[in-house]
Structures are given as structure tokens and as C-alpha cells.
Amino acid sequence: MPGAFVGEGVTIEADVVLGPNAVVLGAGNGTAAWVQAGAQIGANATIHPGVTVGIRAQVAPGAVVTRSVPPLAIVEGNPARITGYVETSAGLGPLAGSGPSPSSRGVQATSVRGVTLHNFLKVPDLRGSLTVGEFEREIPFAPKRYFLVFDVPTAETRGEHAHIHCEQFLVAARGSVSVVADDGAAREEFLLDQPQLGLYLPPMTWGIQYRYSQDAVLLVFASDYYDSADYIRDYGDFLDMVRQQSIP
Amino acid sequence: MPGAFVGEGVTIEADVVLGPNAVVLGAGNGTAAWVQAGAQIGANATIHPGVTVGIRAQVAPGAVVTRSVPPLAIVEGNPARITGYVETSAGLGPLAGSGPSPSSRGVQATSVRGVTLHNFLKVPDLRGSLTVGEFEREIPFAPKRYFLVFDVPTAETRGEHAHIHCEQFLVAARGSVSVVADDGAAREEFLLDQPQLGLYLPPMTWGIQYRYSQDAVLLVFASDYYDSADYIRDYGDFLDMVRQQSIP
Amino acid sequence: MPGAFVGEGVTIEADVVLGPNAVVLGAGNGTAAWVQAGAQIGANATIHPGVTVGIRAQVAPGAVVTRSVPPLAIVEGNPARITGYVETSAGLGPLAGSGPSPSSRGVQATSVRGVTLHNFLKVPDLRGSLTVGEFEREIPFAPKRYFLVFDVPTAETRGEHAHIHCEQFLVAARGSVSVVADDGAAREEFLLDQPQLGLYLPPMTWGIQYRYSQDAVLLVFASDYYDSADYIRDYGDFLDMVRQQSIP
Amino acid sequence: MPGAFVGEGVTIEADVVLGPNAVVLGAGNGTAAWVQAGAQIGANATIHPGVTVGIRAQVAPGAVVTRSVPPLAIVEGNPARITGYVETSAGLGPLAGSGPSPSSRGVQATSVRGVTLHNFLKVPDLRGSLTVGEFEREIPFAPKRYFLVFDVPTAETRGEHAHIHCEQFLVAARGSVSVVADDGAAREEFLLDQPQLGLYLPPMTWGIQYRYSQDAVLLVFASDYYDSADYIRDYGDFLDMVRQQSIP
Amino acid sequence: MPGAFVGEGVTIEADVVLGPNAVVLGAGNGTAAWVQAGAQIGANATIHPGVTVGIRAQVAPGAVVTRSVPPLAIVEGNPARITGYVETSAGLGPLAGSGPSPSSRGVQATSVRGVTLHNFLKVPDLRGSLTVGEFEREIPFAPKRYFLVFDVPTAETRGEHAHIHCEQFLVAARGSVSVVADDGAAREEFLLDQPQLGLYLPPMTWGIQYRYSQDAVLLVFASDYYDSADYIRDYGDFLDMVRQQSIP
Amino acid sequence: MPGAFVGEGVTIEADVVLGPNAVVLGAGNGTAAWVQAGAQIGANATIHPGVTVGIRAQVAPGAVVTRSVPPLAIVEGNPARITGYVETSAGLGPLAGSGPSPSSRGVQATSVRGVTLHNFLKVPDLRGSLTVGEFEREIPFAPKRYFLVFDVPTAETRGEHAHIHCEQFLVAARGSVSVVADDGAAREEFLLDQPQLGLYLPPMTWGIQYRYSQDAVLLVFASDYYDSADYIRDYGDFLDMVRQQSIP
């Protein structure tokens, strides 16, 4: 586009769109930036040196990108922050107008293969509230591990990977967290903002957690002990594996 | 004592001590109060009608007791609030000067039979912190249930019972909670104030949770599904059962 | 009662009940206290010198009363605070379980003669919310005056009088205020805690406003300009006038 | 200017100034932007698709405009926010150094035709404060309606219209609001930040309310019942009507 | 008085007044309390064992005293807190209605021998504010030491002593602190609540600091290096020394 | 660079670097900007008219500079804020990993000529904390003046000058302040974030204070009374004087 500038040594992959007057800084200012396939860089946007803009990510017009942008993420502002993920539908949680009210109980399917949203019993009480989940009855597996994620800066994305075999179950024990679940074809975003809501992620689901509230504590149950070989950390690799699995 | 007043219909059990000018209100003001064995009522204290002061509880001088006082509890103020439990030692948690520092990891025995304090790995990170616990490896059982307790008013006691068969594991996912564990003979108080600390309570342990911070979320794992027959809710009954079990 | 003490010069009117060990301080400590007809002083309560305990007021057991207690008020704590009014029913506002939900619109009669509770249209909007009231259509008069009451300490009672001719209409423009309306026979308490709720008080209604939230702003419309001769400031006088009016 | 870019389908009206490297996005990115007469777009500024920049508005250099800009507004930042209005003098309220102190009482004329600033009596009291306004005596009309505006997000403008016949009177019952009054020739900005300050807007006055504080509650009295035909919502139409009225 | 109770081993010095039903606990409950000369114990008050009530202190009716009360202090509440000092006039600071406004500059004498209140120049500025004091010009000595007192719990009294030779100068660098200055004859209380206010205390002045706001930082300049022999820590000793000095 | 724009009348001194699409606004928009020697303007950055960018300052890519940038400062964002100073090492305070722990006491030299960091005794106490500094013993001079700086907006830099003869000693009495000390050759940044830390600045040290926390109170002792002739306010002049002094 007119006025766009791409610095020395910058890698621009296929199907990238650059808006007018956009600047992608190169080796002359440090390490060259890297813009991956299908990414869109808006007009007047500035990509700092050393930054990677992930597969199909979108940088808004005028945004100043100072840190790497994950695949599919939409970023805005100066400095740029993630404000959403492309082509992601709003989930069945409180985000969706037609979703279950907090007092209804049960399990609902979603648009993402195998992902289910669970609404547990909540028992309010003058002496405090209580919510309960039962393993193997309500939650489809017996946990080998739990972990707690906390003190996450609001602007951070924490989690961006898939598991080959491990199942996971997510609960926002306090505060709120947005979770994007992606099976390689469909993508849906869920707002976990009440302790009685849980989200089941089967194996081979790409999961992103972001928009942590200041006081958020995310409780995760995992069906297996930790195994680094079970993690898929690159979205391109994940897409390749999904395609191979679906070929008979 | 001089000036002490005990209302009509009040039950005063054995070994109760009443301070000077203490008032225990009786049937003339509603339902008569009940002061259980070994309780101590301080000088100038006022016990409202309908209130039960539990076994060996202590009401401080000047306190005005408007709600029932659990066994062993120490209450102070106007209105009276629980400030501790009698003959309870400070646990191995951060309450104890000689206890483990949060960065040391491992399991420690306590003065209460079978109760152990667990210090899990904590992984701090600029993108947020994470703590992990493994079932059957670090935690002595596989859970059938979890529950979350939250929105507990600071002044409330929540929990005051024992289980016949069920094992429990307690973690303060956020904020802080004080837990008193009691095997019928020894009593110890633990402050759970960091998400990487866990407390294991074996069957036949009387457990009290109190001093919830405003933002506290208590995460409890249970080794069995809910069974109301497994609960012992009266401390006298609990003491009887402990005595019977220890007689060969 | 045993141990009760009434100081020198104290006036105790008819039908007063004193609890055991209650103390009402007299001229020896300054100005003698004055306990009006039908008041009840609980066990171990302390009434400071110079204090008036109003008609049929109730001082809870253990309370320490340092300021005068209005007629009908119930006080508790140390120092004593107003916690309610005797024989007052909960109004039709959000206090009452069967009351209108905030989204329903309309006017409802109450148990107090001529007093009506109004629920106006509220228009929520992403750009802010708006509520509207129309004079002479929805509100039964055209205002000559408005006033705003604000910065009221939470523990204070502000308002305690009736008008001979003036009509009033009350709206909590922000925060919440409890209003007791009393026609000399029936008494009802209303919680104004949403800006679309309004309360109409006809002439010859004794009105009390208390439990102001920290941020409360009470908006009052009056049907007449200020006239000090229109105020009845003594509850005994008010009762007398009500009785005279109802005699044909 | 050098480097400026105007996208496909963008409407640029008369007397618009574009700074160097400014970008106005067009139909290729969604709906084309529209820049109205006399607007100024600063250097390096970015106007997102679908946005309208109103008559004589000013976009600061480097600003990223993601929402429409009202006539006369000055916007800055990323995303751009309104920081003022062009050619608007500071009013007689606390904004003006020489203005009345809050304790002085009275009515002051302003530079805008017919607009008056009113300072009512404020009665501070240990039991809370009170301010009073009298209709037809101090406020020039008898109200047919009141409305309350609240929960306005800080960054929002709420209000931007004129009335043909209706008079209005504005009071910030809590918090603060800035009001711009414009008679088509002169423009003045008033900070309503104390409950005893009121602003009278006669018919044919273009009024803008913005810079709502987080807790702001704006109380508005109107001389007529609601009539949608009385509203002028387009600033260009307003200017035309003012010109017609002033021609004898 | 009727119903008053004085425990075993309690020391009651001359001129003590006990109200009706007051309780002073003795050796039977631990260490006996000690009520010093001229103290007044109000009706229904409770003095815990081990507590000393200082010379001429006043315990309000209904108070429950759990910690020792300094000489001259007035205590109220449950638990009892210091609310003032007997026979202390309000100082020339903002406490006094007729005092200097913060913008006037200069030095003012007080009712306490040699104590002066200083109002320094304050320079407000959009970039922050600044206040300046000059030693030997405005402050009557050159400092050998400064100290900062901070993180003082609101309810605490910090400071209660006199110096034989050392001069002091006190500034509340942030927040507010109340200072009582006492020359053995006159006593005056000053509220230091703005950083440009300073209080000079000459040798042989009994000084008390209390009512620290939560964020208070008290800055003290001293004319001498630390010398423990220069401190008078007992008010009785201080009174004796003042009397000896004033006898020629 | 391609697409860069420099307005009419703008002064660009030697060794300035302009990134692609950067804009420096000139007389056409008000007063022309001035970019001093060695400054760097990043890609897509916008320099508003009337702004001075100081010696060797760095403007990040995409930054929008609306106020003047001091010498050596690094600015980022829209509007641009100071985030650091070029070639400045982290000081010996808590900023440096190997620095003294708050409990160790003493004086440490720094990389800047004559500047020393002092760690005073801190006496924590249940009744509040206290820290003490002694003049001529621990602090190398007797003060003629103190001043307090407070209410500084967080984004502001306050201080940016050197003294010819006057010595200074800085303490953050509350909150935290970052201080850059510069002898013309070396530059080091110190975080004063505890009241027991002090920083000594000898004559001919360029000092900058910034990153004031919201509650910061900076206490400064000066060895001389105020003398405007002792101030060096221009960094270029300071560098010239340092060079002249170091020539024998």
C-alpha cells in the first residue's frame, strides 16, 4: 500500500495485508520482525523490531505493537493489547444472551468438538456460598493433578497450547477469565466468571486463557500427570496434526 | 460471684465459672440460655436469651454474646466474635515462627494425629504464578469431589464437624483461612494464606474453619461422594466416638 | 430488677421496663436522663446522663446509650446505634419479598394511609442510564421546591417530622436510604435503593430517614415553599393531632 | 499533505485540513469514513472505517479515531477521546478563576444567550448537608418532568442536542459533569461539581454533557413533558434554525 | 457505689471515683489492676486485670479497658480507645476556629510555655507541591538528627515523654497527627494535618502524639544526638521536675 | 528515511535519526518543534508543534509526543511518557539484585562520582516504625534547609538540574521515587522506596526525580539556603561546566 515501509531482513509470509503508511521495523533497529501467514497490519500501524505477528493475527489501524502477537489474536492501542480472537463465536456461558442462567444446572454442548460447559450446583448461604463438582459423575475424568493460576497481569495471555492425550477441566475459583477453545475448525469464547461454571477441554483442543480479572484464580484439573511431550505449543503444528488425524 | 444473675430456666452444667456481674438471660426474656460443661463467663459479660455457650468455651470479660458459642471457642467484644480456640497450639504453617518458609517444599507432620501440612511447588512468572498438586503422589487420595467455599462473612465460622470415613484436603485458593484440626486429644491451628499450602485431614478429625479473609476462596478435595451419614456434627458425640475407638 | 440502678433526678415514665443490672445515670453525673413512657431498657445496658429515651423505644441488652434515642427506635451496640423501629412492617420496595421487581412500573398502595410507592421507567443504555418522573401525571403534585440531602454520616438519622399541609416525594438519586412512614396508627419501612423508585408522603405523615449509604443523595420534592409553621417536630404532638383529626 | 491517504469512497467535505501521513480509511476496509465541513485531521492520525468526523471537529496529531467524533469536538489519544470543544470559553463556575465561590449565592449571566448559572443555598450540618432550589422563584419555570442520568462511562458524551421550546435546568446531584452550552454563536463550558450549582438552558441552546465523573448523577428539570418533535439532534440543522430565527 | 466491685490486691489511690456497677479486676484473675490518683471509672465500666489507669485518667461509662490508660487520657468504647486528654485546649492549628488559615505564613505563640506553631511557605504547582523550612532562620535550632515515624496503627499513642535539654520540631510530612503539648501547668492540642505546618517543642515540654491517620509520616528534627539520659518518661517525675525548676 | 516529514521552521540538530513515516510538526501548526543533538525519533512517531526533544533523547516508534522531552529521556506511548533514561545503570538500591538488603545498614559508593547510598537504622515496633539519620555523623553535612515535595502527578518529572555548591540528601519519607544521578560521564538510577534509604548528591551532580508513586513524599535536605545563582538548569551548560572543571 502507499507509504508502507518494511525494514531490512523482515520476513513477510503469504497472504499478509499491509495498510497504507504501516511500518514493520527490521534489522537496522535490532532484530527484524516476522509477520506470519495471513496476518493483517492496519493503516499507520507500527510493528517494533523483534516482534512476531502470528498466523492470521489482525493489527488494528494505528496500533503500536511492542510484543509478539499470538496466532489469530486481534490487537489494538498503543501499546497494543489483545482485544479478541478472529472468527471466534461467543460461547454458551453468560457471554451468550440465550445461555443458561446461573441458577440452571447441567451440561451443554458447544460448537467446538467435544468441549462442554458445565453449570454446577451453587448453595448460597448467609454463612457463605458453596459450589460442588463430582469427578467421573459430572466431570468426565478422575484428576491426577490440579493447578492454580493466579496473580496474572490483566493484559496478559496465559495458556496457548493443546494437549495430545490429557483432558482438562477449568473453573474460575474467583474473578473471571475468558477461554477460547479451538478444534482447528471452529472457535468459541467462554467467559468463566462464576465459581459454579466449569469448561471441559478434550484432547486435541487448542486453548487460550486471557482477560484475567485482577483477582482471578483459575483452577485446572488434568487427567494426567505432567508430561512435556503431551504439549503442542505451536498453532501451525496443531493445525497439521488435526488435519492428519481427520484423514482416515 | 457478687452481682451475677442467672435467669429463669437457664441450664448451667458442671464446672461452669461465672464472673462478677455477669448476666445469663432466661425464659423471662424469650428462650432460656444454656451454658455447657466447663464454660467460663467473664465479669460483666451478658449472655442473650436463647444462646448456647458450648463445652469449655470462654466468654471474655465485658463481652455481649448474641449468638451461640461453639465448643472450645474464645469470644470477645460487643457483639462477641470468636477470637481463638482454647488450648490450641499454633500450627506448622506461617503461624509458627519455626515453620517452613513458603519456598521450601514438602510434607510435615503435626501434633494432631494423621494431619499433615503440605507445601507445594510454586512457579512465579512475570505472566502470573502457578502452583501444582498431584493426587495419590503428593495428596494421599484420589478425589471424588471438590468444593469451593467463598463469600464467607469475615466474622463467620464455616465448618465445624468431623467425618467418619471421608478424607479431606484443604487449599486457600485465594485469601486466607484459619483451620483448627482436633483429634479429640490434641488441637492445632493452621493459617492457610498462600495457594501453595495444603492441609490433609484424615477421617475422625474435628475441623473448624474460621477467620476467612474478605476475598477467601477455600478449595476442598474429598475422597468420597457426599454422604450425610458420614458427618459427625456434635462435638460431644465426636469425643464419645474417639474414646470408643481408642478402647481396644 | 436486681442490680438495676436509677440515678438521682432521673424521670421514669409509665410502663417502663428495666432489665437486671441496667444503669440509668442521673444528676450526679451531669444532667439526669429521661426515660419516656413504654420504653424498655435491656439487661446490663447503660444510659448516659442527659440522654432521653423516647416513647416506646427499645434499648437492647448490653447497649451503651450515649445519645438520645428517638421514639419507637430500637438501639443496639456500644455505642448504641439505631437498628430499626418497633412494630414497623417491611414496605413494598425491594425489602419485601413479594414486592415489585425493579423492571415493573407503576404505583402501589401501602399499609400507611395515603403513602404510595412509585416505580418509574428506567432506560438503561451503554452510554449510561436514565430514569424519568412526570409531575402531576405520575407524581401527585407540582413541586414548588426540591432539595438534595447528602454527605450524611451512615449512623445518622436525618428527618423525623411530619407536615401539616405539605406533600413530599422522595427519590434516592444515588445510594440507598431507608424511610419509615407512620400515619399514627400503621408504620412501614421502605428501602429506596434504586433511582427509579419514589415514595409519596401525604400531609400528616410522620417520616423518618435513616441508614443512609455512604454515597447516598436523597432528592426531595415538596408541594409548598418552606414554612416552619407547617412542621410537627414532636412525635407526641403528632399523635395528639392525628387523634383530634380522626374525631369527627 | 505529503503521505496522507484517503481510502476508496471516503467523503471529504469543504474546508477540511489533512496533516502529513494522516490516513482516512475507506470502503475497502468496511464502510467508508465521512469527514464533515471544516474538520481538521492531524499528522499521522488514523481514522477507522465507518467513522464520521463532525463539523469543525479537530483530530490531534497521532490520534487513532475508532468512533464517530461529534461536531466541534477535539479528540486525542489511541483510542481517541474527547478532550474539549473548539472555541469554547471557560464558564463562570469553579472553572473560572474569577467565578463565584461556592458559598456566595445568586444568579450570574454567561456569554451564551439566556444561559444562567445559579448558586443555591447550601446548609452544611454535622448530620449531613442540604441544598434547596425553589421553582418559579429561583428557577425560571415550573417543571413538568425531572430525569436522572447516571452510570455514564467516564469517556462518554451523553447529551448533544437542542430543544425548540423546552427549558431545562441541570444540577449535578453527585459527582461532576461538564456542560457545554452553545447558542450558535458563542460557546461556554461549565463544570457542575457541587450539588448547589445549577445551570439554566433556555430554548434553542445546543447542550453537550461530558466528562461525567464515575459517581456522577445528573438531575435535569424540564419545563415540558417529553415531545420528540421538540428535539434538534443535528448540529447543522440547529445552526440553520438559529440563522432563520435571527433574521427578522 | 452500689454494685461496684474491686478485686483482690487492686491498688486504688487517693481521689479515685468509681461509678455504679464498675468492676476493677484483681489478683484472682491474673495480676491486680492499679488505679492511680484522681482517676475516674465510669458506671458499668470493666477494668481488666494487669491494667494501670494513670493519674487523673477518665474511663467513660460502659468502657471495657483491656490495656493500660496513660495519665490524663480519656478512654471510651469496647475495647476502650483514647479519645482525648483532660483539660486540654484546642491549639492554634486548624483545630481552632480562630486559627491561621493554611495560606497565611508565620509563627504563633500558644498557651504552653515556649511552644510555637509555624506555618511555612507552600508552593503549589501543576507538577506537584513543595514546602520549605529553614533552620536557624525559621526553626530555632540547627538539627543534629531527624527521624521519621510511620506505619503507626490508628488507635495507638506514640510518644509520651519530655526532654530535659533537647529541642524538637515536628512536621506531618503526610497524613495527620494530633500532638498534645504540656508544660506541667497548661495543656494544648494541635492537629498537624498539612505538610507546611510545624510545631516547636522546647525542653521540659511533655509531648504526646496520637490519632495518627493511616498514612501518617511524622518528621521530627532534634537539636541533639540521641541521649537516653535526656528523656523523662514518667509524668509524675515530670511534674516533680517542673515544680522544682519553678522554685527559685 | 522514506515517508518522514519535517514541518516548516523545525530545527534539527546534528546526529538526529528520523525513522520512516515519522512526523515533526512545524510553524504551520503553531510553534515549530526543536530536535536537539543526538536525539532519535522512531518510525511513525509524531512530534507535536512547540515541543523540544532534548539532547540524545529517544522517542519510541509510534509514540505521540505532546510535551517536551528532557535530555537523555526515553519516551513511549500516546501521549508519550518517560519510561527511562539512556545508558543509565541500575543503582545499588533495591533495583540491583546484588544491592544491600533493607536490614543491612551503612553507606555504599556508586558508579557516579561522589554519590553515596545510605541505609539507616529502621526500628520496627508494634506501635509503629521509626527510622533515624544523624547529621554530620551519617549525613555528610549540617542542613540549612529541608523541603518536602508531594502531590506529584505520577507521570511527571520533578527535578532536572544540578547545583554548583549546594549538597543535597534525598529520602522518600513515604511512597517511592526514582532518582537518576549523573556526573556528566556516568549515570545511575536509584529507587528510593523505603524511608530508611537516603541518597547523597554532591555539588555538580545532575539529578532527575521521576516515577513518583501516587502517595510519594520526597524529603530533601540542602547544605545551603536557597540561592538561584547556584542552580544549573540546562543540561548542555552542565556538560560544559563539567568539562571545564576536569581540565587542569
- For the segment C58-74, what is each residue's pLDDT rounded down to a tens digit? 998 878 888 899 888 99
Strand-pairing partners, residue F222, are F145, F168
Which residues in chain C are closer than 8 Å to B3, comparing Cβ atoms? 3, 21
Structure confidence at residue B112 (pLDDT): 92
Contact E65/E43 with Cβ under 8 angstroms?
no
Structure confidence at residue B78 (pLDDT): 79
Give the span between the Cα atoms of C94 and C72, in whole angstroms: 23
Mean pLDDT score, B167-171: 96
Q: Which residue bears the cell 465445624?
A: B160
Give the span between the Cα atoms of F119 and F126, in whole angstroms: 22
A touches C, CB cut-off 8 Å, minimum 3 pairs = no
Structure confidence at residue C157 (pLDDT): 74
Mean pLDDT score, C208-223: 92
Q: Which three cell numbers stand for residue D13?
A: 467535505
Mean pLDDT score, F182-203: 93
Mean pLDDT score, D59-82: 92
3-state secondary structure of A101: coil
CB contact under 8 A, A3 and F19: no
Structure confidence at residue B96 (pLDDT): 38
Structure confidence at residue A91 (pLDDT): 63
Specify the pairing of strand E58-59 against strand E73-76. parallel
Which residues in chain B are closer than 8 Å to A158, comparing Cβ atoms? 127-128
Q: Does B231 score more than 80 pLDDT?
A: yes
Which residues in chain C are closer than 8 Å to E2, comparing Cβ atoms? 5
Contact F176/F192 with Cβ under 8 angstroms?
yes
Chain A: give the shortest CA distance to residue F83, in Å: 13
**DSSP letter assigned to residue D164:** S
Q: Is C78 on the interface with B (CB under 8 A)?
A: yes
Contact D207/D180 with Cβ under 8 angstroms?
yes
Selection from B41, B30, B39, B109 nearest residue B72 by Cα: B39
Q: Which residues of C are catalytic?
A: 161
Q: Give the chain F residue nearest E127 (alpha carbons).
A: F152
Selection from E8, D157, D117, A171 nearest residue B150 by Cα: A171
Mean pLDDT score, A58-62: 94
Out of D3, D29, D45, name the one closest to residue A3 (CB). Answer: D3
Structure confidence at residue E91 (pLDDT): 63
Structure confidence at residue E228 (pLDDT): 92
Q: Is D66 on the interface with F (CB under 8 A)?
A: no
Q: Is A43 on the interface with D (CB under 8 A)?
A: yes
CA D208 to chain centroid? 2
Q: Which chains touch E (3 or more CB pairs under 8 A)?
A: B, C, F
Structure confidence at residue B53 (pLDDT): 94
Chain C: give the shortest CA distance to residue D136, in Å: 8
Report the phi/psi class of residue D29: left, alpha or beta, with left for phi > 0 and alpha for psi in -120 to 50. Answer: alpha
Name the stretches of chain E with pLDDT < 50: 92-103
Q: Which three cell numbers stand for residue D221?
A: 428539570
Strand-pairing partners, residue F107, are F118
F touches C, CB cut-off 8 Å, minimum 3 pairs = no
Q: Is B46 on the interface with C (CB under 8 A)?
A: yes
Structure confidence at residue A193 (pLDDT): 93
How many beta-carbon pairs under 8 angstroms link D with F?
52
Q: Is C3 on the interface with B (CB under 8 A)?
A: yes
Selection from A231, B186, B45 nearest residue C43 by Cα: B45
Q: What ipTM does the predicted assembly reach?
A: 0.81
- Give the model's confidence band at D164: pLDDT under 50 very low, under 70 low, under 90 confident, else very high: very high
CB contact under 8 A, A21 and D25: no
Structure confidence at residue A105 (pLDDT): 66
CB contact under 8 A, F136 and E144: yes
CB contact under 8 A, C148 and D212: no
- Give me the phi and psi of E161, to 5 degrees please: -165, 170
- Give me the phi and psi of E236, to 5 degrees please: -60, -45
CB contact under 8 A, C61 and B44: no
CA dihedral E188, E193, E198, E200 (to 10 degrees): 20
Structure confidence at residue D88 (pLDDT): 79
Give the span between the Cα atoms of B137 and D205, in whole angstroms: 75
Q: Give the chain C residue nearest E80 (alpha carbons).
A: C78
Interface probe, candidates C21, C23, C41, C76, chain E, greatest E C-beta count within 10 A: C23
For chain B, the 3-state helix, strand and coil shares in percent, each to the nearest 5, are 5, 40, 55
Give the span between the Cα atoms of E232 and E240, in whole angstroms: 11
Q: Is A127 on the interface with B (CB under 8 A)?
A: yes
**B5 versus C16: which is more confidently predicted?**
C16
Q: Is F31 on the interface with D (CB under 8 A)?
A: no
The full 3-state SS of chain F, as one line of letters, equals CCCCEECCCCEECCCCEECCCCEECCHHHCCCCEECCCCEECCCCEECCCCEECCCCEECCCCEECCCECCCEEEECCCCEEEEECCCEECCCCCCCCCCCCCCCEEEECCCCCCEEEECEEECCCCCEEEEEEECCCECCCCCEEEEEECCCCCCCCCCEEECCCCEEEEEEECCEEEEEECCCCEEEEEECCCCEEEEECCCCEEEEECCCCCCEEEEEECCCCCHHHEECCHHHHHHHHHHHHCC
CB contact under 8 A, B133 and A147: yes
Give the span between the Cα atoms of C56 and C17, in whole angstroms: 10
Tell whether the torsion through CA atoms of D112, D113, D115 and D119 is positive or negative. positive
Name which of D5-9, D17-21, F119-123 the model is least confident about: F119-123
Q: Is E102 on the interface with C (CB under 8 A)?
A: no
Q: Considering only the C-alpha atoms of chain C, give the largest distance between any 2 of them, rounded to a whole number of Å.
A: 65
Winning range, highest mean pLDDT, from C24-28, D78-82, F167-171: F167-171
Out of E142, E146, E158, name the one closest to residue F127 (CB). Answer: E158
Give the span between the Cα atoms of F4 and A15, in whole angstroms: 27
Name which of A54-63, D33-42, D87-96 the model is least confident about: D87-96
Q: Is A78 on the interface with F (CB under 8 A)?
A: yes
Structure confidence at residue A121 (pLDDT): 84
- For the segment C155-181, what is each residue's pLDDT rounded down to a tens digit? 677 778 999 999 999 999 999 999 999
Give the predicted TM-score (pTM) of the model. 0.73
Q: Which chains touch A (3 or more CB pairs under 8 A)?
A: B, D, F
Give the span between the Cα atoms of C216 and C154, in whole angstroms: 9
Chain F: give the shortest CA distance to residue A166, in Å: 39
Interface probe, candidates D147, D166, D225, chain C, greatest C C-beta count within 10 A: D147
Structure confidence at residue D99 (pLDDT): 39
Which residues in chain A are closer than 8 Å to B150, comparing Cβ atoms? 128-130, 173-174, 195
Structure confidence at residue E7 (pLDDT): 83
Q: Does F3 score more than 50 pLDDT?
A: yes
Q: Does A103 score more than 60 pLDDT?
A: no
Structure confidence at residue D126 (pLDDT): 65
Selection from F68, F76, F132, F79 nearest residue F105 by Cα: F132
- Give the model's confidence band at C245: pLDDT under 50 very low, under 70 low, under 90 confident, else very high: confident
Q: Considering only the C-alpha atoms of chain A, give the largest distance between any 2 of them, rounded to a whole number of Å.
A: 65
Burial of D17 (0-12, 13-18, 19+ CB in 10 A): middle
- Give me the phi and psi of B27, to 5 degrees please: -60, -25
Structure confidence at residue B247 (pLDDT): 66
End-to-end CA distance of chain D: 43
- Give the model's confidence band at A95: pLDDT under 50 very low, under 70 low, under 90 confident, else very high: very low
Q: Which chains touch F (3 or more CB pairs under 8 A)?
A: A, D, E
Give the span between the Cα atoms of E63 and E58, in whole angstroms: 10
Whether F161 is catalytic is yes
Structure confidence at residue D94 (pLDDT): 43
Give the span between the Cα atoms of C155 and A77, in whole angstroms: 46
- Mean pLDDT (chain F) is 87
The DSSP line for chain C is -TT-EE-TT-EE-TT-EE-TT-EE--GGGSSPPEE-TT-EE-TT-EE-TT-EE-TT-EEPTT-EE-S-B-TTEEEETTTTEEEEETT-EE-SSTTSTTS--TT--EEEE-SSTT-EEEE-EEE--TT-EEEEEEBTTTBSS--SEEEEEE---TT----EEEESS--EEEEEEES-EEEEEE-SS-EEEEEE-STTEEEEE-SS-EEEEE---TT-EEEEEESS---GGGEE--HHHHHHHHHHHH--
- Give me the phi and psi of E24, to 5 degrees please: -115, 115
- For the segment E68-122, what is each residue's pLDDT rounded down to a tens digit? 998 889 988 878 888 888 877 766 444 333 334 444 568 898 999 999 999 988 8
Name which of A183-187, D148-152, E20-24, F210-214 the model is least confident about: E20-24
Q: Which residue bears the cell 412494630?
A: C87
Structure confidence at residue D61 (pLDDT): 93
Structure confidence at residue D1 (pLDDT): 75
Structure confidence at residue E158 (pLDDT): 74
- Give the model's confidence band at F153: pLDDT under 50 very low, under 70 low, under 90 confident, else very high: confident
Mean pLDDT score, B96-113: 65
Interface probe, candidates D1, D21, D46, chain F, greatest F C-beta count within 10 A: D21
Burial of B136 (0-12, 13-18, 19+ CB in 10 A): middle
Q: Name, in order, each residue with C-beta under 8 angstroms of A174's C-beta and a sequence gap of 6 or more.
A: A195, A215, A216, A217, B150, B173, B174, B215, B217
Structure confidence at residue C42 (pLDDT): 84
**F248 versus B204: which is more confidently predicted?**
B204
Structure confidence at residue C46 (pLDDT): 84
**D130 versus D224: which is more confidently predicted?**
D224
- For the segment F53-74, what is each residue's pLDDT rounded down to a tens digit? 999 999 999 999 999 998 999 9
Contact F42/F4 with Cβ under 8 angstroms?
no
- Give the model's confidence band at A104: pLDDT under 50 very low, under 70 low, under 90 confident, else very high: low
Q: Name, in order, each residue with C-beta under 8 angstroms of E228's C-beta and a sequence gap of 6 or more.
A: none
3-state secondary structure of E28: helix
Out of C126, C156, C219, name the one closest to residue D128 (CB). Answer: C156
Give the span between the Cα atoms of A13 and A34, in whole angstroms: 8
**A179 versus C158: which is more confidently predicted?**
A179
Strand-pairing partners, residue F89, are F188
- Mean pLDDT (chain E) is 85
Give the span between the Cα atoms of C160 and C205, in whole angstroms: 10
Chain F: give the shortest CA distance to residue D5, in Å: 12
Q: Is B210 on the interface with A (CB under 8 A)?
A: no
Out of F20, F60, F62, name the one closest to residue A5 (CB). Answer: F20
Sequence letter at residue E9: G
Out of D132, D137, D158, name the one closest to residue C127 (CB). Answer: D158
CB contact under 8 A, B145 and A135: yes
Specify the pairing of strand D206-210 against strand D160-163. antiparallel
Structure confidence at residue D232 (pLDDT): 95
Q: Does B51 score more than 60 pLDDT?
A: yes
Which residues in chain F are closer than 8 Å to A66, comparing Cβ atoms? 60, 76
Q: Give the chain F residue nearest D40 (alpha carbons).
A: F29
Give the span between the Cα atoms of F157 and F178, in whole angstroms: 10
- Give the model's confidence band at B99: pLDDT under 50 very low, under 70 low, under 90 confident, else very high: very low
Which one of the listed residues B48, B161, B163, B165 is annotated catalytic? Answer: B161
- For the segment F71-125, what is each residue's pLDDT rounded down to a tens digit? 999 999 999 998 888 877 766 444 333 334 444 568 888 999 999 999 988 887 6
3-state secondary structure of E73: strand
Structure confidence at residue B79 (pLDDT): 81
Q: Give the chain D residue nearest C157 (alpha carbons).
A: D127
Sequence letter at residue C175: G
Structure confidence at residue C105 (pLDDT): 65
Name which of A131-140, D219-228, E127-136, E232-241 the model is least confident about: E127-136
Q: Which residue bears the cell 468431623?
A: B162
Q: Does D103 score more than 50 pLDDT?
A: no
- Give the model's confidence band at F126: pLDDT under 50 very low, under 70 low, under 90 confident, else very high: low
From chain E residues 218-247, the ones with a CB under 8 A of any chain F CB are 219, 221, 225-226
Structure confidence at residue B82 (pLDDT): 87
- Mean pLDDT (chain D) is 87
Q: Which three cell numbers stand for residue E180?
A: 498534645
3-state secondary structure of A52: strand
CB contact under 8 A, C146 and D152: no
Q: Does B36 score more than 80 pLDDT?
A: yes
